[in-house]
Amino acid sequence: MSGLVVIERPEDGVALVRINRPEARNALSFAVREALHDAFAALGEDESARAIILTGDAQAFAAGADLKEIAEISAVEAMRRRTDQLARPLRECPKPVIAAVQGFCLGGGLEIAMQCDIIVAGEGAQMGLPEIRVGVMPGSGGTQRLTRAVGKPRAMLMVLTGQMVSGKDAAAMGLASLCVPDDKVQEEALGIARRIAALPPIAAQLIKETVLAGADAPLSTALMLERRGFNLLFATEDQKEGARAFIGKRKPQFKGR
């Protein structure tokens, strides 16, 4: 694993993936994207990780693509960078992923955050898709995920002007799950991850799959997916443990079986 991305284990069941390029505000160089690919490919298969936090540092979650790498590339070279494929392990990670956002979260950084399941934003965070200011446009899902998150009118304003919004405004418009003081972002993200890690992981995986698959499906199809997931969970040991613990008024011990 490259030092550009560091995996930490703050608690049992929780993995923390830290983008570690502070000298460049955690800009997403090709090497950083490769390291994120490897980190999420590994954690997606790691049964000991039940919830994952993705973060940067107090100055930046990730301030976008590394412009020094792409300023002079051709269209063919841009295609060959395969950034969409590199993001697949994060996008398709079966574990719940929480983005802990402080400071700048711009361009590709916001696109990565929007691929997470929960976004905890600091009040001082600056979030946006400013690609138009350097003559390009979002290219890793930004136009589509932002529009689905906040609606066309607000998304158009942001992508056509490059406007940034605060963490508070991001939460108000539905871009972030919640906003907390900057010095509480990591603590809040860890608390959420801790709660998820204590719950049955198979249920968490099926909930995530159903929400994502059903989001763009007809309601009838989405409801069918939900019912099938609901029924399937009755085949797990964790469902029996949860029911027996509730009836017995004790704390359940979920094992992911």
Quick one: pLDDT at residue 66?
Answer: 76
Residues forming the active site: 111, 131
Q: Cβ distance 79 to 70 under 8 Å?
A: no
Residue-level pLDDT at 100:
98
pLDDT digits (tens), the chain, 257 positions = 569 999 999 999 999 999 999 999 999 999 999 999 999 999 999 999 999 999 999 999 999 877 777 667 678 877 777 778 889 999 999 999 999 999 999 999 999 999 999 999 999 999 999 999 999 899 889 999 999 999 999 999 999 999 999 999 999 999 999 999 999 999 999 999 999 999 999 999 999 999 999 999 999 999 999 999 999 999 999 999 999 999 999 999 999 89
What sign does the CA torsion over 222, 227, 233, 235 have? Answer: negative
The pair of structure tokens assigned to 13 is 């069941």
User: What does residue 237 show for φ and ψ, rounded to 5 degrees?
Assistant: -65, -30
Domain ranges of the chain: 5-197, 201-248
Beta strands in the chain (DSSP E): 5-11, 14-19, 51-55, 60-62, 97-101, 104-106, 118-122, 126-128, 164-166, 178-180
**5-197 against 201-248: fold identical:** no
Amino acid at 171: A
Quick one: 47 exposed, middle or buried, by C-beta within 10 A (0-12, 13-18, 19+)? Answer: exposed
Q: Is 151 helix (H, G, I), strand (E, B) or coil?
A: coil
pLDDT at 76: 82
Architecture of domain 201-248: Orthogonal Bundle (1.10)
pLDDT at 5: 96
In the chain, count of helices (H) and strands (E)?
13, 10
pLDDT value of residue 1: 52
The rounded distance, in Å, linking the Cα atoms of 19 and 68 is 18
Decide: 109 and 140 in contact? Cβ < 8 Å.
no
Confidence at residue 256, expressed as pLDDT on a 0 to 100 scale: 86
Which helix H or strand E contains 83, and what residues bound it? helix 83-86
* Contact call for residues 31 and 4 (beta carbons, < 8 A): yes
Q: Looking at the domain that runs over 5-197, which CATH code has it been given?
A: 3.90.226.10
Task: Indicate the SS3 state at residue 254.
Answer: coil
Q: What's the token pair of residue 154?
A: 């607000």
CB atoms closer than 10 angstroms to residue 165: 22
Q: What is the pLDDT of residues 43-100, one digit of tens each?
A: 999 999 999 999 999 999 999 877 777 667 678 877 777 778 889 999 999 999 999 9
Which pLDDT belongs to residue 71?
Answer: 65
